Amino acid sequence: MFFDSPGDEDSSPFTGVLTPGLLQRCSSWPPQTEIMKLWSILNAAAWVTTCTKKFDHITPILRELHWLPINQCILFNVLVLTFKALHNLAPAYVQSLLTMYTPARTLQSSSTFSSVIPKVCTKTYGEQAFSYAAPATYNKLPPEITQSTSLGIFKPKLKTYLFELAYPQ
Question: Amino acid identity, residue 6?
Answer: P
Instruction: For 23-50, write each residue's pLDDT tens digit.
Output: 555 555 677 788 888 888 888 888 888 9
Domain definitions of the chain by residue range:
8-166
**Does the reported pTM lie above 0.85?**
no
Helix (H) or strand (E) holding 126: helix 123-126
CA distance 55 to 64: 17
Burial class (CB in 10 A: 0-12, 13-18, 19+), 34: middle
pLDDT, one tens digit per residue, over 143-162 is: 999 889 899 999 999 999 99
- pLDDT tens digits, 109-130: 545 556 666 566 665 655 567 7
Per-residue pLDDT at 5: 45
